[in-house]
Each structure stands twice: as C-alpha cells, then as structure tokens.
Structure 1
C-alpha cells in the first residue's frame, strides 16, 4: 500500500510542491549546501536530511558520474526518492581540481585532475559525516563514479560504511572504447602513448594541447590526466578484481536498456552471488534511469539495505 501511495505521489510531485508552498506546509526534509576545505580547495555537497532525523540515524553518500556534478538529474532525483523512502543523503561534487566546482566540468579550463584524486575527496566527506555523528553510511554512485566508489570501498574499507550501491558501473576495459563513435580512435592511441611516455619520464604536468579528452574535444589536458583516465592498467575499470573483494554488502543496479553498456548484466553476472553481491535489473531503464526508473532503483536499494542490516 505504501509503495502504491509513493508511486501515486511521484507523478504529482510538482502539484505537491505547489500545494505545500501555497499553504505554507513544511516539506519533510531539510535541504542545504555544505562545504569543506580539502587540499586548498573548497568542496561542496547537497545535504538532504529527513525531518526529525539526524546523522546518527544513517545517511547515503552519493557520487555522480564522469566529470559530472551533484545537481544533474539522476542525482537530484535520487535524493528526492531517498527522502520519500525515509533516508537522508549527501550528494557530493568532485572538485576535478577546481575550487568550489559547480555544473559539468568546464572544458575551456586546462584539465589537470586524475581519477585517483577522487579517493581522497570521497574519504574527506566520509570523515566529515563521521564527525557529524554518522555511523551507518551507505556508499552510492553512478556510472564511472560507481567504479570510483567500488575502489574506495575496497581500498579504504571504512568502518562507518555499511553498504555499497552501484548504479550502472562502467565495465569498459580502457578509455579507447569511449572514443569509438566520438573521436578518432587512432588519435587516442597516439595521445595515450605520448602521455604514458611523459608520465614515465616524470613530466606528467606537461600540458598536451588541443587533444580530445572524455567529453572535452580539443582541450588542454595534462599528460597525467590523460594517462590516469585512459591507461590499460586502470584499476578503476577492473570490476572483476574488486567485486569479489567488496567488504560490505553490495547491490549493483542496471537498466535492461542501458544504451552505453548493453551487456552490463552479463559482465557483472559472474561476480554476483545473490547474498553479499546482488544484482537488480530495472526493466526499460537506460544508463541514466530517467523518469520513474530511478525511483524504482532507489526503492530496490532501500529494500536491499533493510534486508541486509
């Protein structure tokens, strides 16, 4: 009955907001932006607290996908769906080397960040939550961010982390796959070879000018940055090595119509045991779980968390 009521409500969210504003009815949440200082940079996050609950009641730490941010649709909707399921959340934005970064990465700026930088920033937010009194932190992330969260969960194994939820993790073996259909694949090979040579020579800070990188065509990218996200030994792509090592109960959520990774269920399937590592398929959902698909994904995540506590 409760689930049916929530589905009824979801289609009427704009109406509910209007009614709440019109009659000055307080909504069941306390939302605010929070910041912290880390390595000379300001990191920001969006905190959504269920009214009447504190950090000690548990919280979900959410990470966005590749070079994205905490206000993109899937993250905002996830936080709203978590509130509807009585769970507070903190959605963080990785700095990517930019102070108080907002929105998608600015491709006009030199790209000087590495994927490894994410480990320290995730941990900084976990430590922040612990200082606030959180002792039951669910680690949740989407796409390439799910890979980063997977590696963090294994390598840091923080005692305050209780569960891991991975939405559409990336299973491509190297950055070359991301170039297909977007950039010249042969140019990728040349750029990676040059970046690798510079990194191995200790010149990773060298800026490689006007090269195609991730979502940024003809951008200025440090050799260390290009190498970090694209080299063939990138541990952030080695889901087959990390999933068997997950220290916390883990749920992998995939869309059956993921346009970016159509074979995701088959790739992660061998590492799913149905107990410690579980798999949830959302019918008709694409990579970004649009419309009500994210609501179903979050409901499945909440059920998983409750059942494995």
Structure 2
C-alpha cells in the first residue's frame, strides 16, 4: 500500500481554467438511467454517486466533465434507481422525484444496499457491448463502498481494469447505533430484531431512515441498511481484490469520512492499493480539489 499526500498548487493558469458545460448523452438501458460523457479514449470510467443522491450531483458531474473533456476519457454516470420508477429509464427526465433535490427522501424506500451491485453490473455489461475492453469502476462515498463490494466479486473480469474509491472507508456499526439513538431515542438493535420477523416488503413505522425524517420504508430496506455487514466497508472488500489496481482518494478536511488512511491501516502490505490524500479537500472535493482528484484517476488509467 502506498500513501501519498498532495498539496494543491494554485497557479494563475489553474484559476483561469473554467470547465465548460458538459454535453452528456442521456442513456436508458434495461430500465435504468444514466448519463454518458463521450470522449475518444479507449478506457471508459463508470462513476457512481453517493447516498440517496443522483448522477448529476456536483462532484459526479464535475469529475465526469473533467475526465471526458479535459483528458479525453469517456465516463458513464449511473443513476441508482433506488427501486423507484421515477428514477428509472426515461422517467427521470420529467419526474419531480429525480433531480429536484440532492437527497431522495420523497420516495418509498424499498431499495437495498446490495441493489447497487446489480445495477453496476448492468452498466459494466453495457460498456462491454459498446466495445470497451478496459473499464475503471469508481464511486464517491457510499458509492465507492458499493463499488468496492462489486469489485470484490468481479475483480477477475478481464474488462475491469481498476477501481477508484473516493471518500470511501469503513461503515461503523457502533457509530450507526449511537447516532440512531441520539437522533431518535431508539435502540437500532431492537428495531432490527423486531423487523427481522416481518416480511421484507412490509412497511415499518420509524422516525428516521438514513437522512430522511418520517420515511416510508420497508423492513427489508431498513435491515439491509443497518445490519452490521462487513461488505458495507471498503477495506473489507479491497482486501479480497487481487491483481487489480485500487486507488483510494481522501480529503484532509473530510468530516464525513475523516482520516481515511486509518481505515486502511491494516492493509499496508497490499501492493495493489494506493491511497492519495488531497490536503484541504472536504468530502465533496469542490473547486480545484476536483481537478486534483481527476488527475489521480488519470494517472491510474494511464498506468494500466
């Protein structure tokens, strides 16, 4: 494992580099929705968004634009369906439940954490069908953790050439229990025990689900989210990945996933793992920090 720290150098040329509005193409494939940022490069990047967000959130759109327009590599940004028809296919272009808000709290939460792995698989196969023989699978925050779980199952696929995990570390069960009690006064463990006896599709009465207050959520979705599952943690998954370069990008000022090096400290002997820390960047790598992250991704692409 290699850990490097980057201190951005803010030169005048960089300050004058204004990214133009990207010309992505909307894709509807097998009932799912995504955006494709066309470029001439032979290596394609799949870039997955984070928790309950969408594929046009700032960090995803900015990185996709930089990679495609500035560096010439095509990028596909899936929009996780979250099992909601308004986030699927062509519906997302007109639905008020698509891009109106960053966090999808206005849906029925029937989706499960693992659904993302299936949808990632659909998009990787789509790119293969489009003729791409080398694909980088990347994700931000929870999206990166889901990417790590996907790669742990598919690292032997010759078309998948590498993985990038941006602000993606451990999922801490004790912290989840503590935060849920702090926010709601309820014991998460008792809720999980109670809901485990119910049908997956039965709606349960809880005051909060992830970021959402007074949600409509099923027992299955709640259990999938909050059960202590090691595959929800990026380091657990990365430890399984062989013969594939994995790049982890963290921000020194990230308050959501702080001190990401510590999350991976037990993996110091894993030669295919590289950790880069961008000094000054927070969880969303705004402004020039996104340029730094894009450069790191390009370095990985050009090394394969």
Range into which the TM-score falls when normalised by the shorter chain: 0.7 to 0.9
Find the counterpart in structure 1 of residue 105 from structure 2.
107
Find the counterpart in structure 1 of residue 3 from structure 2.
none
> C-alpha displacement at 1:234, in angstroms?
4.6
Matched position secondary structure for 1:184: helix
Aligned mate of 2:32, from 38, 43, 55: 43
Structure 1 stretches of at least 4 aligned residues deviating more than 6 Å after TM superposition = none
Aligned mate of 2:281, from 277, 280, 285: 285
Q: TM-score, normalised by structure 1?
A: 0.83
> C-alpha displacement at 1:205, in angstroms?
1.4
RMSD over equivalenced CA pairs, Å = 2.7
Counterpart CA distance in 2 for 1:233 and 1:95 is 22
Q: How does 1:240-255 map to 2 (within 5 A)?
A: 240-247=235-242, 248-255=244-251
> C-alpha displacement at 1:183, in angstroms?
5.1
The alignment covers a number of residue pairs equal to 282
Find the counterpart in structure 1 of residue 194 from structure 2.
197
| Native 8 Å contact 2:138 2:144 kept in 1 | yes
Find the counterpart in structure 2 of residue 69 from structure 1.
54
| Native 8 Å contact 2:169 2:235 kept in 1 | no
Find the counterpart in structure 1 of residue 81 from structure 2.
95
| Native 8 Å contact 2:110 2:221 kept in 1 | yes
Find the counterpart in structure 1 of residue 255 from structure 2.
259
Counterpart CA distance in 1 for 2:290 and 2:172 is 26
> Unpaired segments of 5 or more residues in structure 2?
1-8, 88-97
> C-alpha displacement at 1:30, in angstroms?
5.5
Q: TM-score, normalised by structure 2?
A: 0.84
Find the counterpart in structure 1 of residue 90 from structure 2.
none
CA distance change for structure 1 residues 109 and 283 in 2, over 3 Å: closer, same or farther?
Answer: same
Counterpart CA distance in 1 for 2:54 and 2:201 is 25
* Greater relative contact order, per chain length (Cα 8 Å cut-off, separation 6+): 2
Counterpart CA distance in 2 for 1:217 and 1:36 is 32
CA distance change for structure 1 residues 63 and 7 in 2, over 3 Å: closer, same or farther?
Answer: farther
Find the counterpart in structure 2 of residue 300 from structure 1.
296
Counterpart CA distance in 2 for 1:302 and 1:216 is 36
> C-alpha displacement at 1:267, in angstroms?
1.7
Counterpart CA distance in 2 for 1:209 and 1:299 is 46
> C-alpha displacement at 1:181, in angstroms?
8.6
